[in-house]
Amino acid sequence: MASIKSLWTSMRSRRALLSAILFLATALPRAIFAAAAPITVRVGYPQPSGAQLPLWLMSEAKLDKKYGFDLKIFISPAAPG
Q: Are 17 and 48 in contact (CB under 8 A)?
A: no
Amino acid at 7: L
Are the beta carbons of 34 and 2 closer than 8 angstroms? no
**4: pLDDT strictly greater than 60:** no
pLDDT digits 0-9 by tens, 12-34: 778 887 777 777 777 766 656 66
For 34-73, write each residue's pLDDT tens digit.
666 778 888 888 888 888 888 888 888 988 888 888 888 8
The pTM for the full model equals: 0.46
